[in-house]
Amino acid sequence: MVKNAIINEYKRLFAGCDCLLTPTVSMPAFKIGGYRGEGEYNIDNLTATASIAGLPAVSVPCGFGGEKLPIGMQIIGKRFSEDIILNAALAFETMTEGAYTTHA
């Protein structure tokens, strides 16, 4: 029942667009080896619905947070639209000249 509701909501959203942009996670990144506590348990909650609905998605770096740690952007597409989301990811990286793929 919940799975069908998620699928139907994505169908409704995709009636007006080719892909959706969302945050990859709901909290800032933490340093390697760092632990923030119980909030990490749900760190993947924004990526779960695409998986449940069987939709292709890709995460790309799109900036840096307050502690200069990376922030991710998720691009979600309609079923079988891997080409669209991968082209969108490439276009973003090209337009930003890869500024978010490395940290100075």
* Domain-located, residue 30: yes
Please tell me what DSSP assigns to residue 104.
-
Confidence of residue 99 (pLDDT cuts 50, 70, 90): confident
For residue range 19-40, list pLDDT tens digits in order.
999 999 887 777 777 766 665 6
DSSP 8-state symbol, 24: S
Number of domains in the chain: 1
Domain presence at residue 104: no
101 belongs to a structural domain: no
26: domain range?
A: 2-95
**DSSP E strand boundaries for 11-69:** 19-23, 57-64
Structure tokens at 23: 């945050």
In a domain, 47, yes or no: yes
Q: Are 59 and 100 in contact (CB under 8 A)?
A: no
Q: Give the residue from 48, 50, 45, 46 showing the smallest Cα distance to 82.
A: 50
Is residue 102 situated within a structural domain? no
**Which runs of E-coded beta strand occur in the chain?**
19-23, 57-64, 70-77
Is residue 81 situated within a structural domain?
A: yes
Render pLDDT for 37-47 as a digit per residue (tens, 0 to 9): 665 667 888 99
